[in-house]
Amino acid sequence: MKKDRRAVLSKAAFTGVLVLSLTVGTAYADKNLNTVYQVYVDDESIGTVEKKEDIQAFIEDRVHRAEITYSEEDLKLNEDITFTREKNLSSESNKAKVLDQLEESISVSAESVQVNIDDQTVAHLSDHEEIEDVKKRLKEKYVEENILTQLESKDSKGKPIEKEEGESGILSVELSHEIKGESSEVHPSQISSVSQAVQEVKNGVVVENSDESQGGNKPIEGEVSEPLTEVVVKEKDVQEQTIESSRKIVETNDLLKGETETKQEGSDGRKEIHTLITKKNGSVETRETLKEEVVEEPVEEVILKGTKIIPSRGTGTFAWPAVEGTITSHVGERWGRYHKGIDIAGVDDRTIKAADNGEVVTAEYQSGFGNKVVIDHNNGYETIYAHLDSIDVEVGETVRKGNKLGVMGTTGNSTGVHLHFEIHKDGKLEDPASFFK
């Protein structure tokens, strides 16, 4: 087999044999006969030469030229070159013919590394280091160089440096199909550059690993479509989300109906969502939630809502305290004095009514006011009803809005039948007319 033979003789070994043969040959030289050397290429004679050195120099030259042509070092000669020493009278030299023959017969090979993916040979490279370069180049298309370096870095104990718990970032960069390098020998023209090998992996091109396909790398029809390996990047994504606070309403009889009180202020919480994202050649393949972690619990807002009803408590709005009638006098200066309320007159029905819910605190005759009723509405308001002809309520009695308090009259300092009506808020006088617009 041709393949087996080419590994037998390295250039160095060839030189060694040559020197040894010359020494032996010189020792047995005969003065009457010329010493010539029969030259064999793989056991086949190609003629005779007078000096072995000519053959050696020629081969060295051809190997050297090939090294320059293919930019490869340490090329090997594939053929086994041997000599037999002979004595010859004629001393006929056919050096030119032998060298021509040699030129046609010899070939060189280079030590190389097969780039294998799934038992398919993708390309040949010069050495194993270039295989690593191919892997790196493929990865760098999707991951920045400094991140790759970071992922490979180890701590002082030789362990990989792990990410912080809540940190987003790339966890690993792998190839979906492993790229393996296997030592081989090929014609130097078959050795690709790293860039070519990377392109072939991406294109999914498969090359035949045979001695005949000199510089082949031809795509096989119908088989080329997917890349032979893809860059699988596993990435951790940490996102913070707000957990919205909820509101709870608690009814209580400790508060009056319509009143509310915040028992507990609410606040939003926060949670971290850790997701593992797997990308193949840059596109997302899977998203997997690794965990959800509550960083801060939300605080529920608690609102107390009053349910207690007090009948003697005013609603805050006032009803007209008479049965129809009109305002005949307003709040303000009148006859050199200040009129503190409104006068209502001109009614058919003289019923005086409570303007709002409340408790009767005064029900008596007073000079000036005549028969006077005062209602405390238990919400800051007090109303005063004066000049009544008669009073129908007693002090301490609870009245509802609209209840009858008495009858309109003209008792006290009064010039005719009317109701004098005042509203006080927290002890300060208000204009009743402003409540009946």
Binding site for Zn ion (CB under 5 A): 343, 420
Shortest reach from residue 339's CB to Zn ion, in Å: 6
> Half-sphere exposure of residue 351, counting CA atoms within 13 Å on the CB side?
10
Nearer to Zn ion, 188 or 370 (CB): 370
Nearer to Zn ion, 52 or 372 (CB): 372
Pairing of strands 398-399, 358-366: antiparallel
Nearer to Zn ion, 17 or 327 (CB): 327
In 4-142, which ranges are E strands? Answer: 34-41, 44-49, 76-77, 81-88, 108-117, 120-125
CA–CA distance, 64 with 254 (Å, rounded to integer): 106
3 state DSSP class of 100: helix
Shortest reach from residue 343's CB to Zn ion, in Å: 4
Nearer to Zn ion, 134 or 388 (CB): 388
Helix 194-203 to helix 128-140 angle, to the nearest 10 degrees? 60
**Residue number of the CB atom closest to Zn ion:** 420
Nearer to Zn ion, 181 or 432 (CB): 432
Nearer to Zn ion, 15 or 338 (CB): 338
Shortest reach from residue 404's CB to Zn ion, in Å: 20
For the chain, what's the residue count? 437
For CA atoms 232, 236, 242, 248, give the dihedral sign. positive
CB within 8 Å of 269: residues ≥ 6 apart? 242, 243, 245, 294, 295, 296, 297, 298, 299
Nearer to Zn ion, 291 or 334 (CB): 334
Shortest reach from residue 349's CB to Zn ion, in Å: 20
Pairing of strands 381-388, 419-425: antiparallel
Shortest reach from residue 355's CB to Zn ion, in Å: 15
Nearer to Zn ion, 230 or 343 (CB): 343
Helix 52-70 to helix 95-105 angle, to the nearest 10 degrees? 40
Shortest reach from residue 303's CB to Zn ion, in Å: 45
CA–CA distance, 377 with 321 (Å, rounded to integer): 14
Nearer to Zn ion, 227 or 432 (CB): 432
Shortest reach from residue 335's CB to Zn ion, in Å: 11
> Half-sphere exposure of residue 27, counting CA atoms within 13 Å on the CB side?
6
Shortest reach from residue 411's CB to Zn ion, in Å: 12
Shortest reach from residue 259's CB to Zn ion, in Å: 35
Shortest reach from residue 424's CB to Zn ion, in Å: 15
DSSP collapsed to 3 states, 231-286 = EEEEEEEEEEEEECCCEEEEEEEEEECCCEEEEECCECEEEEEEEEEEEECCEEEE
Nearer to Zn ion, 124 or 353 (CB): 353
Torsions phi, psi for 14 (to 5 deg): -60, -45
In 10 A of CB 8, how many CB atoms?
13
